[in-house]
A and B are shown apart, each in its own frame.
Chain A
């Protein structure tokens, strides 16, 4: 566990992360959880009209951003990551302006790099590597590296690392 405070630092910060662990970045406003994909795998993205297969590399990350804090949010993020990475849940794409979009408590990103932003509506952003997050997490870039995670523009938050187990 590590506390980070002070001025925004554009230097890269690195945290170790193994395939069996989950890493949380917690602030007063939001929570971000991330795991390694761990193995080459496929993640289907299914909309009304088409299916696209996302092919992920072992060092890629699945990142979930929650609009809240505390144990319930941390467990929710763990569960949604588990559904996608371990249970093979597809990503089902809702039509635009679906009423459920306004009720979302978390969003998920998968791939090599994720950038957190507070200037977008959850799930409606144009750049597919941008993930909405609460204010103090905005601007952070998260990318997978060999055996760890790189953070750019990290200036706030507390890291919590624990085994990635459910149940």
Chain B
């Protein structure tokens, strides 16, 4: 991922995130990376949505 600090002009369309759902709080989110956790409640109990 490359960007420009606080304000960026990256091509977000070219990022290919997975969509996840948190089993603890039900939050859904898009993420990239190996160690995924819910950005809302920090639970690691997340599944691919």
| A residues neighboring B (CB under 8 Å) | 40, 42, 44-45, 47, 50-57, 64, 80, 83-84, 89, 91-96, 98, 100-101, 104, 106-111, 114, 122-131
Check A52 against B2 for contact (C-beta < 8 Å): no
A83–B36 Cα distance when bound, in Å, is: 22
Contact of B12 among A45, A80, A108 (CB under 8 A): A45
Inter-subunit contact B6/A111 (CB<8 Å):
no
Give the residue name and chain of the A residue nearest to B8 (CB). Answer: A93
Docked Cα-Cα span, A45 to B6, in Å, equals 10
* Shortest Cβ gap from B13 to chain A (Å): 9
Do A128 and B10 touch across chains, with their CB atoms under 8 A apart? Answer: yes
A123 with B6: CB separation less than 8 A: no
Assuming the A-B contacts A55-B33, A55-B37, are A94 and B7 also in contact, with contact meaning beta carbons closer than 8 angstroms in the complex?
yes
Whether the Cβ atoms of A92 and B1 lie closer than 8 Å is: no
Say yes or no: A110 contacts B1, CB within 8 Å.
yes
Asked if A124 contacts B3 (CB within 8 A), the reply is no
Chain B residues contacting A128 (CB-CB under 8 Å) are: 1-2, 10-11, 14-15
Instruction: Enumerate chain A residues within 8 angstroms of B35, measured Cβ to Cβ.
Output: 40, 55, 57
From 12 to 33 in chain B, residues with beta carbon under 8 angstroms from any chain A beta carbon are: 12, 14-15, 17, 29-33
Contact of A108 with B5 in the complex, beta carbons under 8 Å: yes
Which of B9, B17, B32, B37 has the most chain A CB atoms inside 10 A of its CB? B9
Which B residues lie within 8 Å of A40 (CB)?
Answer: 35, 37
B17 touches A91 (CB 8 A): no
Compute how far the CA of A51 lies from the CA of B5 in the bound complex, rounded to whole angstroms.
Answer: 16
**Would you call A107 and B2 a contact (CB within 8 A)?**
yes
Nearest-CB distance from A122 to chain B (Å)?
7
